[in-house]
């Protein structure tokens, strides 16, 4: 692993986590450099971070692509290197009850967008891709072309909940409405499911009796801005190892298999605290 890694970032909105990553790079707290900022949203306020810091930006307008691909239920508009059958087999987003035509329409439009996204990313040759508030689900087509080595995944995401609890778009809201006494955030590698990839780090905070949903979100964001750069720096140091674990559970015939992230030792006193406040 190089001393300084090249980081690509995808955003959909304000890019507050991206700002924390850029600041950590510039302050020497993170051994990396953000080399591009991409977005699915032409109006994403976070694109201004690129203009301010001299970082190249680009936009792949998903909405326009989805509109144009809406009527293609055959998958005929897919890139030549995409297999609709393979995508259906690998993706882990939809239950079997979902209309197959809807799945085809979803996969077709997303893969068309992703092929353009990959083309825009190609000149930058990044070591790590970070999703910093990127509100589009990635398909196996995209994931497999970035994660060329299953033992060394290269797509990282931050989620506003203590996974595996509360996957989806509103983790803090879900935790608050469920009456949880503790909430938090999680950084994980991306796989074929929704927020199901192996966990790298987590930070938690108490939900007090006087908290509101707004204060819970503010608490969570402050921890996100610390946790994400810490996890990226561990990647830059080559200290994240993917391990296949098998667990035997009492009273059950089948063992449980999970892909987990092990954090390798660093210099004495240099380990980040990724499991607490």
194 and 127 part of one domain: no
pLDDT value at 2 more than 60:
no
Catalytic residue flag (residue 53):
no
Contact indicator for 8, 126 with CB cutoff of 8 Å: yes
Query: Do residues 76 and 180 both lie within one domain?
Result: no
Tokens found for residue 236: 């830059």
Last residue of a domain, one of 146, 170, 200: 146
- DSSP labels for the chain? --SSEEEEEEESS--HHHHHHHHHHHTTSSSEEEEEEEES-TT-TTHHHHHHHT--EEE--HHHHHHHHTT--S-TTS-TT--HHHHHHH-BSS-TTS-HHHHHHHHHHHHHHHHHHHHHHGGG--SEEEESS--SPPPHHHHHHH--STTS--EEEEESS-TTSS-SS-HHHHHHHTT-SEEEEEEEE--SBSS-SPEEEEEEEE--TT--HHHHHHHHHHHHHHHHHHHHHHHHTT-EEEEEEEE--TT-SSPEEEEEEEEPP-STT-----S--
Quote the CA–CA distance of 239 and 1 in Å, as a whole number.
10
Pair 111, 190 in one domain: no
Same domain, 20 and 83: yes
Whether 75 and 176 map to the same domain: the answer is no
Is pLDDT larger for residue 71 or for residue 180?
A: 180
Is 212 a residue whose pLDDT tops 60?
A: yes
Place of tokens 């809807």: 102
Q: pLDDT (tens digit, 9 = 90+) per residue, 87-116? A: 989 988 888 888 888 888 889 899 999 999
Say whether both 237 and 142 belong to one domain: no
What pLDDT score was predicted for residue 261?
97
User: pLDDT-derived band of residue 7, with 50, 70 and 90 as boundaries?
Assistant: very high
Q: Write down the mean pLDDT value for the chain.
A: 92
Active-site annotation holder among 51, 53, 124, 159: 159
Whether residue 152 is contained in a domain is answered as no
Per-residue model confidence as pLDDT tens digits over 38-94: 999 999 999 999 999 999 999 999 999 888 876 655 556 788 899 988 998 998 888
Report the C-alpha gap between 173 and 46 in whole angstroms.
23
Please give the residue range of the domain that contains residue 169: 157-272
pLDDT at 275: 67
Record the pTM.
Answer: 0.92
Q: Clarify whether residues 263 and 237 are in a common domain.
A: yes
pLDDT at 3 over 80: no
> Is position 151 within any domain?
no
Judgement on whether residues 10 and 117 belong to the same structural domain of the protein: yes
What integer pLDDT is reported at residue 1 of this predicted model? 45
Query: How many domains is the chain built from?
Result: 2
**Token code pair at residue 80:** 């030549």
In a domain, 216, yes or no: yes
Task: Answer whether residue 80 is part of any domain.
Answer: yes
Domain containing residue 8: CATH number:
3.40.50.170
Per-residue pLDDT at 20 exceeds 70? yes
């Amino acid at each position: 692993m190089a001393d300084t890694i090249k980081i690509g970032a995808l955003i959909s909105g304000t890019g507050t986590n991206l700002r924390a990553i850029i600041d950590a790079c510039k302050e020497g707290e993170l051994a990396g450099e953000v080399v591009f900022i991409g977005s699915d949203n032409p109006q994403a306020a976070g694109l201004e971070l690129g203009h301010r810091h001299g970082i190249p930006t680009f936009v792949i307008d998903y909405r326009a692509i989805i509109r144009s691909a809406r009527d293609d239920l055959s998958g005929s508009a897919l890139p030549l290197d995409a297999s609709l059958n393979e995508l259906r087999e690998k993706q882990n987003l939809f239950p079997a009850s979902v209309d197959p035509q809807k799945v085809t329409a979803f996969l077709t439009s997303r893969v068309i967008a992703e092929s353009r996204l990959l083309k825009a990313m190609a000149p930058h040759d990044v070591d790590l891709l970070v999703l910093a508030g990127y509100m589009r689900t990635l398909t196996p087509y995209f994931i497999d072309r970035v994660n060329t080595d299953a033992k060394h995944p290269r797509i990282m995401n931050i989620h506003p909940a203590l996974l595996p609890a509360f996957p989806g778009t509103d983790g803090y809201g879900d935790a608050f409405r469920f009456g949880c006494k503790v909430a938090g955030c999680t950084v994980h590698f991306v796989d074929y499911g929704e927020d199901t990839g192996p966990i790298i780090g987590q930070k938690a905070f108490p939900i007090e009796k006087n908290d509101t949903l707004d204060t819970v979100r503010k608490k969570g964001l402050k921890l996100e801005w610390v946790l994400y750069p810490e996890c990226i720096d561990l990647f830059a140091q080559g200290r994240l190892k993917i391990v296949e674990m098998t667990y035997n559970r009492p009273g059950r015939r089948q063992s449980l298999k999970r892909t987990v992230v092990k954090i390798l030792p660093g210099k004495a006193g240099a380990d980040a605290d990724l499991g607490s406040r």
